A and B are shown apart, each in its own frame.
Chain A
Amino acid sequence: MRDRLSVLIAALLLAFVTAASYWYSREMRKPVSRTPPTPGTPDFIVDRVVLTQFDDRGKARYRLFAERLSHFNENDDLELQRPRLVSLLPDQPQVQATSLRARVINAGERVLMDGDVLLQRAAGPTQPALSIRTARMTAVPDEERFTTEVPVTIERGDARLDGNAMEYDNLRRVMTLSGGLKGEMAPAPR
């Protein structure tokens, strides 16, 4: 009878130890609980930020300046206040893009620029300077494509173009204007 009791106590103790260690390991594996950020609010903010993108050999390609950069955890988007993007490619005319606000979505696949959008390209050896002004513009940086569905003003050398929608392909260097356009070219110099 005593033997049976001691076996029972040992079995109970073993069961308790097993249950306790199981509970403990469960507790240990639980993620540290953290208050998740409310959707729509940034999880981090950086003021007066300068970001530089380098190529494979460590040479700077683009530099981005912004008064404020906000990151959103739920979709990894970036929101920029007064962004200015400058190209540093030595063999190409410098390109600069500025706007009041910009939202970088889908891991940089698309950039939605909003308010006083200005895209400028410096004069090169074969082409004059180019500037594109509009209120809103969508950029696809990898494809170097820029589109806008609102009125746009383009200045290229001494020519000026006004359109109601634009698509610009900087790789093919082809610009398409639609919805009515007006172009003005200065008289030929003589």
Chain B
Amino acid sequence: MRFSCLIVLLALALPVHAERADRDQPTIIEADRGVFDELKQVNVVTGRATLTKGSLRITGERMELRTRPDGYRMAIVTAAPEALATLRQRRDATRPGIEETIEGVAERIEWDERSETVRFFNRAQWKRLENGVVRDEVSGSVITYDAVASTYRVDGGERGDGRVRAVIAPRSPEGAKSEPAPLRPATELPAGRK
């Protein structure tokens, strides 16, 4: 019998999204080596590999990159033995003065540009931070984070104790109480936004 715990959570009642401006940013890959197979349409880079797209940054030892026929990209990032692949992304600011970021680690991270989902496999951990302070934290065997719907799904899996652990901060109207950001005139148009 598959013993697994499953929770699907609305990450926040507030409409938060992965940074919208990230969508229109180029994808930048850096690594020590790379093999690009044009016939198989598979590109593999290895050695301290990083993927950057706007505020999104994924790191690992090996990255397998594919481009779908519609032009969207996918990446499967794996960590070196004993290490973990990492992901970090800023979310669109919804409350003034609060910068929200998400951070995740796992042995393998799968990123899908089209559906804007990220899946974390094995020893997966996912955090949401506000101004650098951890507000939500979950860990499990498989974590799926959907940036469009702002939901994450955690699967305890069959390994380890098969349990999911989640710490979710109370949704106090803290943001409203805090000092509002002072208004200042915009001197330039934000890049990638209209």
Contact = CB atoms under 8 A, between A and B. Distances in A.
B26 A185 contact: yes
Contacts of A188: 70-73, 113-114
Interface stretch (B1-9, B33-41, B121-129, B180-188): B33-41
Closest 9 CB pairs between A and B? Answer: A183-B29, A173-B38, A188-B71, A175-B36, A185-B27, A188-B72, A177-B34, A178-B33, A181-B34
A172 interface: yes
Contacts of A183: 28-30, 34, 45
Nearest to A172: B39
13 contacts: A173-B37, A173-B39, A174-B35, A175-B35, A176-B33, A176-B36, A177-B34, A178-B34, A184-B29, A185-B67, A187-B23, A187-B25, A188-B71
Nearest to B45: A181
B114 A176 contact: no
B35 to A, nearest CB: 5
Interface of B: 23-39, 45, 53, 67, 70-73, 113-114
Contacts of B39: 172-174
Contacts of B30: 180-183
A189 to B, nearest CB: 5
A127 interface: yes
A174 B43 CA distance: 9
A190 B73 CA distance: 13
Contact of A176 (B28, B34, B38): B34
A181 B25 contact: no
B71 A189 contact: yes
A186 B38 contact: no
B36 A177 contact: yes
A83 interface: no
A175 B25 CA distance: 25
A106 B88 CA distance: 54
Contact of B29 (A127, A182, A190): A182
A184 B30 CA distance: 9
B37 A185 contact: no
A187 B116 CA distance: 13
B10 to A, nearest CB: 26
B27 A187 contact: yes
A163 B45 CA distance: 12
Contacts of B73: 185, 188
A95 to B, nearest CB: 14
A176 B29 CA distance: 15
Given A185-B73, A188-B73, A176 B35 contact: yes
Contact of B32 (A161, A172, A181, A190): A181
B190 to A, nearest CB: 16
A174 to B, nearest CB: 5
Contacts of A184: 26-29
Contacts of A181: 29-34, 45
Contact of B37 (A163, A174, A190): A174
Contacts of A190: 23
A186 B53 CA distance: 10
Nearest to A176: B35
Interface string A147-178: 00000000000000101000000001111111
A41 B39 CA distance: 45
Nearest to B24: A187
Contacts of A177: 33-36
Given A176-B35, A181-B45, A190-B23, 14 more contacts: A173-B38, A175-B36, A175-B38, A178-B34, A183-B34, A184-B28, A185-B26, A185-B29, A185-B67, A185-B73, A187-B24, A188-B72, A188-B73, A188-B114
